[in-house]
Structure 1
Amino acid sequence: MTNLKPANTTPVADAGGGDPAAPAGRARAGWRSLLPTMTPWLAIGLVLVVGITLFGVLGPLFVGDPRQIRDQGLTPPSAEFWLGTTQTGQDVLAQLAYATRGSLQIGLLVGVLATVLSAFFGIYGAYRGKFLDDAFSLFTNVFLVIPGLPLVIVISGFVPRESRGLWTIAVVLAVTGWAASARVLHAQTLSVRQRDYVAASQVSGERPWRVIVVEILPNLLPVIASQFVFAVIAAILGEAGLSYIGLGASNSATLGTMLFYAQNGFALSLGAWWWFVPPGLMIALFGMGLSLVNFSIDEVINPKLKNLRQHRKRARRALRLERDLARRASLETDR
């Protein structure tokens, strides 16, 4: 990974004195290297993620009660009910707004918990080394070899249905999904730990937590951000899968529970596409948006991807320039 820490050199002052804005400029340039380059794919991903997030956060404020039962069962989308109603007359749009909020909450909780666990066992263990690193590596390997989906199903099955809320499902998904990210952070930390500025901080007597936070962590931020985005995607898909088989959050509304109730209500066989298509499409669009954002973060982690994209852009510009020159030459020849 590219070293984002400026070199420890003393600038030579000129006759007019040093430039006080130079350190600030170098710091801003260093932080810019941590941000992905704006591309059309990143813009599309951000629009999808921000739009769905705003719908989940603000949507429940403008819709009615999603549990209200009416005598208008399985009505198709209309001016009164934009996404139709369920078999018991419940508004699908209201359910979708509350379900999106629940899925976003689970994704955020799992993303934070899994990232914290992977950072602790991956970064701290690799930095301290020796017995602690061996113990953390063994613990991580145990979770790596255990099949994730069966473990999630077993843990969720043993939790009582009335106790299965958002936090319970989030903890289950986080505990079973942090090990692979910890392995990646462990390898990256071993590489960063060998650098000169980390050794200089250790020799100067800095405390371990400060060396990790100030010297090592900034170089791992793109990797951690990518892992957080991936954890959110996996959490939303995992929760939807658990809810679809009846092991999700029983006392909360999520996109997975919408699909579960649509399946139990025979929505597919009855042709009520407006009942199961919106939650499935919401999961697909949000996952696509996060994936596009994650692809852009990969360019920060691997500069070769960014260089390849820039090389292709320069090649397209050169080809367009060549075509313009050829067109102008042909026009001059005709004259």
Structure 2
Amino acid sequence: MATTTMPRRGIDLSAFGRNRALLAGIVVLGLICLFALLAPLFVDPSQARVGVTVPRRPPSGSNWLGTDGQGRDMFTVMALALPQTLKIGLLAGLISLSVGVALGLVAGFVGGIIDTVIRTASDVMMTIPGIAILVLVAANVREMTVELMALIVAALSWMVATRTIRAQTLSLRERGYVQVARLNGTSGLKLIFIEVLPNLLPFIAASFVLTVSQAMLATVGLEALGLGPQNDLTLGMTIYWAQFYSAIIRGMWWWWGPPIFAIALIFIGLMLTSIGMDSFVNKRVGTQ
């Protein structure tokens, strides 16, 4: 007698429309990304060079966000720094999430000694103060680049995704439809990709938002200490140079204000998205 796979719950797309926090977060992040994509097309990169214009000029019609103490147009600096900051966060998030999902799936589905090794490694890494390692590594790198910074941050932020995906995989592998699929002859990678991974997508999306938030927080912290890319414009390095040249004491709010506002807006968008995703995932878990 032929057996059939038990139906799996799909993703209720209408739930996204009712989730105000998620919608608000997506709108905020969408506007930020839109500005990051379009703004560099309408500015002259030469205006971000040192000494290109009169320094310490407040916002005006010719310089919308004024100029810094080094004679750079702040609007141009912001237009070029925002994409680089987002790039670091997204790269670090993607790398750490990819590692976390792969390790979490293997640990949760295979189990045994492999699960023990992966679980122990993630637990040990979580007990080590990541910011101390980040500062130590960044301080000893000769030339920090955007890509290298993303890789360093990702190397110390894969543990949370690993634990989350492992826990959900342990739960899903015991579900009825997975057992039926196994009895039907489905096994190995095919079972993971067809039966388990599709049901992990909401958790993967939530983990991605969390890892990007953590990566950007660590990145901005390092850059504020002067350990970021020296040859690339980023929001964190703009704040560093503002404090290095005592912009607050000089009353040059337009130097440090815009990057802080942009960073705050990014984190507000990520926070709202995280709250929305968490609510969606919790409801999904509760209905399974």
Could you tell me the TM-score, scaled by structure 2's length?
0.91
User: Quick check: 1:286 aligned with 2:266?
Assistant: yes
User: Quick check: 1:253 aligned with 2:251?
Assistant: no
Which of 178, 200, 207 matches 2:158?
Answer: 178
Provide the C-alpha distance between the structure 2 equivalents of 1:225 and 1:304, rounded to a whole number of angstroms.
Answer: 13
- The residue type equivalent to 2:172 in the other structure is V
Matched residue pairs, number?
A: 282
| SS in structure 1 at match of 2:59 | coil
User: Residues 6 and 176 of structure 2 are in contact (CA less than 8 Å); yes or no, is this contact kept in structure 1?
Assistant: no
Pair 1:203–1:158, CA change in 2 (3 A): farther
Following superposition, the deviation at residue 305 of structure 1 comes to 10
Following superposition, the deviation at residue 74 of structure 1 comes to 0.7
Relative contact order, CA 8 A, sep 6+: which one is greater? 2
* Percent of matched pairs sharing the same residue: 33
Which of 126, 135, 142 matches 1:144?
Answer: 126
User: Residues 223 and 240 of structure 2 are in contact (CA less than 8 Å); yes or no, is this contact kept in structure 1?
Assistant: yes
Following superposition, the deviation at residue 206 of structure 1 comes to 2.2
Higher CA-based Rg: 1
Provide the C-alpha distance between the structure 2 equivalents of 1:107 and 1:305, rounded to a whole number of angstroms.
Answer: 28
User: Residues 34 and 221 of structure 1 are in contact (CA less than 8 Å); yes or no, is this contact kept in structure 2?
Assistant: no
User: Residues 258 and 279 of structure 1 are in contact (CA less than 8 Å); yes or no, is this contact kept in structure 2?
Assistant: yes
Pair 1:61–1:264, CA change in 2 (3 A): same
- Structure 2 segments unaligned to the other structure (5+ residues): none
Pairwise CA RMSD of aligned residues? Answer: 2.2
User: Quick check: 1:128 aligned with 2:126?
Assistant: no
Q: Which residue in the other structure is 2:88 paired with? A: 106
Q: Which residue in the other structure is 1:83 paired with? A: 65
User: Residues 299 and 306 of structure 1 are in contact (CA less than 8 Å); yes or no, is this contact kept in structure 2?
Assistant: no
Which of 10, 14, 22 matches 1:30?
Answer: 10
User: Residues 107 and 115 of structure 2 are in contact (CA less than 8 Å); yes or no, is this contact kept in structure 1?
Assistant: yes
User: Residues 56 and 71 of structure 2 are in contact (CA less than 8 Å); yes or no, is this contact kept in structure 1?
Assistant: yes
- The residue type equivalent to 1:245 in the other structure is L
Q: Which residue in the other structure is 2:252 paired with? A: 272
Q: Which residue in the other structure is 1:329 paired with? A: none
- The residue type equivalent to 2:129 in the other structure is P
Q: Which residue in the other structure is 1:327 paired with? A: none
User: Residues 53 and 73 of structure 2 are in contact (CA less than 8 Å); yes or no, is this contact kept in structure 1?
Assistant: no
User: Residues 16 and 23 of structure 2 are in contact (CA less than 8 Å); yes or no, is this contact kept in structure 1?
Assistant: no
Q: Which residue in the other structure is 2:24 paired with? A: 44
User: Residues 35 and 300 of structure 1 are in contact (CA less than 8 Å); yes or no, is this contact kept in structure 2?
Assistant: yes
Q: Which runs of 4+ in 1 moved over 4 A?
A: 304-307
Instruction: Map 1:136-215; keep pairs closer than 5 Å.
Output: 136-160=118-142, 162=143, 164-215=144-195
Following superposition, the deviation at residue 46 of structure 1 comes to 2.1
Following superposition, the deviation at residue 71 of structure 1 comes to 4.4
Instruction: Map 1:66-77; keep pairs closer than 5 Å.
Output: 66-67=48-49, 69-77=51-59
